[in-house]
Amino acid sequence: MAGKPKLHYANGRGRMESIRWLLAAAGVEFEEVFLETKEDFEKLRSDGDLLFQQVPMVEIDGMKIVQTRAILSYIAAKHNLYGKDLNEKTLIDMYVEGTTELMGMIISLMFHTPEGKAKQSAMIIDRATTRYFPAYEKVLKDHGHVFLVGNQFTWADVQLLEAILMTEELKSDVLSKFPLLQAFKTRISNIPTIKKFLQPGSQRKPPPDDEFVAKLRKIFNI
């Protein structure tokens, strides 16, 4: 029996948070190894564990997987969260790319100056409400099901919920014009494994603060 997946990253959201979400949604317990210093990162590199000298890296099933999307795809495929056929998988890929784009903008906010953050946040909310959320509202309307794809929750649903909650941290009423997404948020949040991950005390990380950004700068020399 393989041990629990082991996640190597700093102790915060960054690029690892979507991986924590998907493992938790799949009901998979995981361990975390937190990089605290530049030396911690350099050791992973010198041990030859990072194919591209980068983290996130996840040790799972005898592999040391890097590249966030490769890690997520493996978890989704292994835990039956990637659709039942090529058509569903392709829809999931499309929807995941959209939420990855939206979350990528939000994740990078932490590196902006206060004035830059205000301007970038306004752009993000505009994109969320004029490009991304209208698309997912339409998908839910056209598909008629409770999920984005098929008739069970998939990687696409997990990542859309994560993106909704992250966007609401910027603007709490961002879903005001999207009733289907409001219902979707409630429904997916109540899936037992996700509900548990949303409880305090889970391995879900808080929004980034100055301390976390300072640590990232130290670890990654940025």
Ligand X SMILES: N[C@@H](CCC(=O)N[C@@H](CS[C@H](CC=O)c1ccccc1)C(=O)NCC(=O)O)C(=O)O
Length of the chain: 222
Smallest gap from residue 74 Cβ to ligand X (A): 13
DSSP 129: I
- Report helix, strand or coil for 2: coil
Nearer of residues 57 and 140 to ligand X, judged by Cβ: 57
**CA 21 to each of CA 7, 27, 97, 125: distance values in angstroms, whole numbers, following the listed order:** 12, 10, 16, 22
Smallest gap from residue 213 Cβ to ligand X (A): 9
Nearer of residues 26 and 107 to ligand X, judged by Cβ: 107
Nearer of residues 47 and 85 to ligand X, judged by Cβ: 47
Q: H or E segment at 57?
A: strand 57-60
Nearer of residues 54 and 189 to ligand X, judged by Cβ: 54
Residues of this chain that bind ligand X (CB under 6 A): 14-15, 53-56, 67-68, 107-108, 216, 220, 222
Smallest gap from residue 35 Cβ to ligand X (A): 9
Smallest gap from residue 56 Cβ to ligand X (A): 5
- Calculate the CA 164 to chain-centre distance: 11
Structure tokens at 204: 């879900």
Sequence-separated (6 or more) residues with CB below 8 Å from residue 10: 16, 34, 35, 36, 55, 212, 215, 216, 219
